Amino acid sequence: MSQDQTQLAASAGGSALPKRNSQLIDLYRVMRRIRTFEERVGELFIRGQSAGSMLHLSIGEESSAAGVCAAMQPQDTFTTHHRGHGIFLARGADPKQMMAEIGGKETGYCKGKGGSMHIADMALGHLGANAIVGGGIPAVVGAGLSSKYLKQNSVSIAFFGDGAMQQGILYESMNMAALWNLPVLFVCVNNQYGMGTRIDQATKSTRFDERAKAFGLNGAVVNGHDVEEVEATARWLVDDARAGKPGFLSVEVYRFFGHARMDKSPYRTEAEETEGRRKDPVLLARDRLIAEKLETETTLDAMDKEIVTEMDATIDFAVGSKAPPLTSMFRDVYALGEPKPEPVSVRIDRVLARDDA
């Protein structure tokens, strides 16, 4: 891609980038799987069978996960924020293991210890989700430095929400990545709200790419309602990052529901939500596939039905799995060879037994 194309794409939200209709069916399938999985996560929560009292859905943001992950290579690594189920799924995660982790079961990725907001899997390059706003961002700087030093030809990507755009750790990380020419990409999933605060009420300038460019990074803003634009822009940025030119991508999407599952978003009008949901990236991709005769409606219906069956099974798997035993509480927490800590209950029993004697 030429410099002129790059600048035009960034200023126009990616509209100048070439279309990749040959990949659209794959991108649609990833987005549909994310959408359906997140709907089942919400169901698990309503049934009272998820671990913890909060979880955060990424419905409406599927294009950011599908588009960016499509540009990644197997050796690449990434971190996510607390709304990262879709990103991990797009990267190739097993939805059954994901649902089991969200349900706090021992068959989950972290054996039930991570729950919804702290899933990780080194085998798939997932360096960890983080519930702290911006908390996962600096990890990719370390991963990028390691990749450069060891000549691993891998890129490390930090996914975070627009709320992290006001965090100082982001700017320290972007500055270091640019200074050392690290293979790193910062991806802001701008869903317009940091909890209940609309982005234009949190910052004067919402051209986040301009902040990145000030540090010497590549920067782009893309219309997240079009998954093809996201994929094409991300591919350029990932390829450049792999060559030692770190970048920043802001994917503009709309969060369909409240901040967390119990948030009914009273801070948004019904008219705003209706308008935002008209820009559904999943439905727009489906309509384009049919309009451009790339797939038939019948074929897509069959695919959607297959995905529903797949994701229905994740709930059955999670509910049918066992909760981790209390004896596993400290497993995988301390380094190998370290003595296991004594649980308080065991210590109390030991002390009381001694007093009785």
Domains and CATH numbers, the chain: 3-325 (3.40.50.970)
Distance, CA of 158 to CA of 80 (rounded, Å): 6
% helix, strand, coil for the chain, step of 5: 50, 10, 40
Q: What is the DSSP string of 288-327?
A: HHHHTTSS-HHHHHHHHHHHHHHHHHHHHHHHHSPPPPGG
> Residue 16 has what pLDDT?
43
> Residue 25 has what pLDDT?
96
Nearest alpha-carbon partner for 328 in 119, 114, 113? 113
- Helix, strand or coil for residue 102? helix
Distance, CA of 204 to CA of 144 (rounded, Å): 31
- At how many degrees (to 10) do helices 297-320 and 281-291 cross? 150
In percent, the amount of the chain with pLDDT more than 70 equals 93
- pLDDT at residue 15 tops 60: no
- pLDDT at residue 121 tops 60: yes
Question: For 279-338, how does the pLDDT look when each residue is reduced to its tens digit (9 = 90+)?
Answer: 999 999 999 999 999 999 999 999 999 999 999 999 999 999 999 998 888 888 888 888
> Residue 20 has what pLDDT?
59
Joined tokens for residue 144: 């990028």
> Residue 260 has what pLDDT?
83
- Give residue 3's pLDDT band: very low, low, confident or very high (50, 70, 90): very low
Higher pLDDT, 173 or 5: 173
- pLDDT at residue 353 tops 90: no
- Give residue 168's pLDDT band: very low, low, confident or very high (50, 70, 90): very high
Greatest distance between any 2 Cα atoms in the chain: 84
Q: Could you identify the residue written with the tokens 């591919």? A: 235
- pLDDT at residue 8 tops 70: no
- The answer to whether the CB of 92 falls within 8 A of the CB of 124 is yes
- pLDDT at residue 2 tops 80: no
Question: For 204-229, how does the pLDDT look when each residue is reduced to its tens digit (9 = 90+)?
Answer: 888 999 999 999 999 999 999 999 99
- Give the predicted TM-score (pTM) of the model: 0.88
Higher pLDDT, 53 or 126: 126
Least confident segment among 60-74, 88-102, 251-265: 251-265
Q: What is the mean pLDDT of residues 226-234?
A: 97
Nearest alpha-carbon partner for 256 in 242, 272, 243, 236? 272
Nearest alpha-carbon partner for 119 in 78, 59, 164, 60? 78
> Residue 357 has what pLDDT?
56
